[in-house]
Amino acid sequence: GAGVSQTPSNKVTEKGKYVELRCDPISGHTALYWYRQSLGQGPEFLIYFQGTGAADDSGLPNDRFFAVRPEGSVSTLKIQRTERGDSAVYLCASSAGLNTGELFFGEGSRLTVL
């Protein structure tokens, strides 16, 4: 597709379960970002990939959160032992590279932890 694709669009899980959220960026975009958006808030930075490596993971809230991008394209955000406070919309964005001035966001994956 032409835009950033995120799956699933909605995920409901129980406290303590493991969750994976997938992001397929725009073809050719080398930079990939994960943000988290809580209700009524702006997106908050989680992690940034340039190619396959995580260039900045300073926004990950704790070690239950992990993200990979093994081939420099698709990325997976992994959340272990989910907690109710993890409930949010997880947004993925991509860009053509540093300092391009624009991030292209997907529609997000809404995670609800019961």
Partner 1 sequence: QQQVKQSPQSLIVQKGGISIINCAYENTAFDYFPWYQQFPGKGPALLIAIRPDVSEKKEGRFTISFNKSAKQFSLHIMDSQPGDSATYFCAAVNSGGSNYKLTFGKGTLLTVNP
Chain residues in the site for partner 1 (CB under 8 A): 4, 31, 33, 35, 40-45, 48, 50, 55-56, 59, 91, 93, 95, 98-108
Q: How far apart are CA 113 and CA 104, in angstroms?
A: 27
In the complex, minimum distance from the CB of residue 38 to partner 1, in angstroms, rounded to a whole number:
10
Count of Cβ atoms closer than 10 Å to residue 10 Cβ: 11
- Which residue lies nearer to partner 1 by CB, 9 or 80? 9
In the complex, minimum distance from the CB of residue 75 to partner 1, in angstroms, rounded to a whole number:
15
Instruction: Calculate the alpha carbon distances from 18 to 24, 35, 43, 78 in Å.
Output: 20, 19, 23, 7
